[in-house]
Amino acid sequence: MPAPVLRKGVYPPLPTFFDVHEELDVPTYQQHIRNLAGTGLAGYVLMGSNGEAVHLSSDERVKLIEAAHEVAGADALLVAGCGEQSTRATLEHCRRAASAGADFALVLPPFYFKGRMQEQALLTHYRVIADASPLPVVIYNMPASTAGLDLNAALLAKLAEHPNIVGIKDSAGDMAKLAQLVGQVPADFAIFAGSAGYFLPALAIGAVGVVAALANVFPRQVCRLQELFQRGELLEAQRLQSLLAPANAAVTTIYSVPGLKAALELTAGYGGPPRLPLLPLNEAERKHLAEILEEVTRLT
C-alpha cells in the first residue's frame, strides 16, 4: 500500500473531552468530529498540545485514535501526536498509533535535557524514529511547549531529506525562518503554520496549510481564508485574517486549552473540563471570550 500524502489544507488539533470524573468522554469526542465533517477540513490532529497529550496514558491515546478512525471517514487524514522524551518511547507510540488507524505521526522534539539537545542529538532522534516508524513523520516545532527549544531552518532542512519525514507543523511564528525553510526543503515537504493567527502570512511565503486550534470552533472561516488566498482575493483574505486573529489568541496564548473548551461550550454546547492541573475558565474569562467569539460570528 502506498504511503498517504499529507494533503494541503486545514487540520484542527482536536481537544480531548473528559467527563466530570476526568475519564475520557469518547461520545463527545466522536460527535465533535461528526460536527466538523463537511466543513472543508483536510484531516485532524489527535493528541497535540490542545489534545492534552501530556495528560493521557498510552492506552488512552490508542483509544482516541481508534475512536477518531471509526467516525472520521476514509478521506480524512489522522495525524497522531507521538512525541515523548525518549526516542524509544516515541517509536512505541508511532507503532501503536499505526495499529490504531493513524496516517501520520506528529513528533515534538525531546526537551527535558535541553542543554544536550544540540544538532546531532536531534538529527539522530528524528532519523532513528523515521527509519523505524511505520507512519510517515511530521515534525512538531513548538518552542512554547518545549522550554524554548526551537528547531532552526538548517536542522529542519537536513531532516527534510529523509524520505519518511514528510512535513512540519511550525508553531514558532517566525516568518523569516519559514521563508528560509521553504527555499531549502524538497518540493513535496509540507510546511504547515501552527496557528490561525499568522495563517495568511505563512501561506504567502509557501506554507500549504495550518494546524489551528481555532478550526475546532470556526472551521469554515479558517478554510475560507486559504480559499481566498488561493483565488488571489487578498484584500478579503486580509480582512478575514484580522477578524480571526483575536479569537485565535483567545483560544491559544491567552486562555489555552481551557479557552478552547469554553469556546466550544459557547458555540456548540459541549466542551467540558480539562484535566488537572488545568482549570476551567472563570466567569469573567468566559464573558470576555464570548464577546470575542461573537465578533467573529457577527462579521463573518
Q: CA nearest 146: which of 119, 116, 176, 113?
A: 113
State in Å, rounded, how far the first CA of the chain is from the last one: 42
Q: CA nearest 44: which of 18, 70, 83?
A: 70
Check: CB of residue 191 under 8 Å from CB of residue 167.
yes
* Cα separation, 77 vs 41, whole angstroms: 9
Cell numbers for 52? 492534552
Instruction: Write out the H or E segment, with its range, that includes residue 28.
Output: helix 26-36
User: Of these residues, 169, 177, 261, 287, which one is catalytic?
Assistant: 169
Check: CB of residue 278 under 8 Å from CB of residue 258.
yes
Is 114 an annotated catalytic residue?
no
Q: In three state form, how does the secondary structure of 128-179 look?
A: HHHHHCCCCEEEEECHHHCCCCCCCHHHHHHHHCCCCEEEEEECCCCHHHHH
Catalytic residue numbers read: 169
